[in-house]
Amino acid sequence: MSAVAGEPVALITGGAGFVGSNLAQRLLSEGRRVLVFDNLSRAGVRNNLRRLQELHPDRLEIQVADVRDPGQVLQAVSRADEVYHLAAQVAVTTSLESPLEDFEVNARGTLNILEAARKREPAPLVVFTSTNKVYGALDDIALLKTAGRYVPANLQVRENGIGESRPLDFHSPYGCSKGAADQYVLDYARSYGLPAVVFRMSCIYGPHQFGNEDQGWVAHFMIRARENSPLTIFGDGCQVRDVLYVGDLVEAFVLARQNIATLAGRPYNIGGGPHNTLSLRGLVERLGEQLGLRPSIRFAPWRTGDQRYYVSDTRRFSQATGWRARVAPSEGIERLHNWLTQTTAVATSRPRASVEAHP
């Protein structure tokens, strides 16, 4: 099937990345025409994109471009009735080293998306992936250390997690750039009536993720353990996160599209919630059991903006859409392990795949 003149597309910025390629696969399988907008700068993304091209050659379009280029953004958004804005600089450490670049990608890049969406008639749906880092270090939440993990002293926080009513407290340049973008998206919904929604996401993991020390820690730990390489833990390893399997996140995107009339203009915390939590030490133990070895660990000092405890309270989104996390960490980690086993090599050792881009 060739492109139809004027046929709208589902635009995914960062669409060749981990989350973007999983979302693209879902939308393409539903019969949507998808435009992947990506600068292909992250390791492994060319392989993700090549896979999509092989599976959906007739419905996939590719625009190799950067969200910092307003002209390229306008060209892409002008064709879209849905925009999933995932492209970002994703590492706190990188933001500390290059705060101007971090701002240009995350804040200015998002503003380029919003301006292009505002100029399109009718305005497209916009889903923006923000971060739990907008809530800061959460130092005021009293924590107990038990069984190798932190737990909140407050029973309500322990049972439900961190809700959207939590005051914003941007830490690190990354927290500031993503937080500014988060607020711009919400204000464009308020000021211009843009049908936009913000996902403040916790830790996402699953197939097609090539994690590193700065981002994607579940996959990073598994890849390092499989290579029998030492794992570096920043802090004491008792820090806790809720983890969400990527397929459950993709389902949340689909539900956001279906319920945008009631969701628009609000932020939603999206993660595995209190029933899907892992400490760093706990993940290492799971990997040791799964791989039949004891991973070597080395410890390093706490990093700027590190949260000792963050678990998403997802009740607002669940009550609005019926969504819930369905894949338990034990099952999701097994799926990630199986995918890595079937993959010939991780992104850093793969040859660069050729990608055919379409304007």
Catalytic residues: 174
First-to-last C-alpha distance (Å) of the chain: 17
CA atoms of 358 and 156, how far apart (whole Å): 51
| Residue 204, φ and ψ in degrees, nearest 5 | -100, 140
Q: Are strands 231-234 and 203-205 parallel, antiparallel or unpaired?
A: unpaired
Residue 204 parent element (H or E): strand 203-205
- Distance set, CA 12 to CA 20, 26, 119, 188 (Å): 6, 12, 18, 19
Q: Please check whether residue 94 is in contact with residue 83, taking contact to mean a CB–CB distance below 8 angstroms.
A: no
In single-letter form, the type of residue at position 95 comes to S
How far apart CA 74 and CA 119 sit, in angstroms, is 9
- Specify the 3-state DSSP secondary structure of 59: coil
**Widest CA span of the chain, in angstroms?**
60
Closest CA to 356 of 65, 61, 119: 61
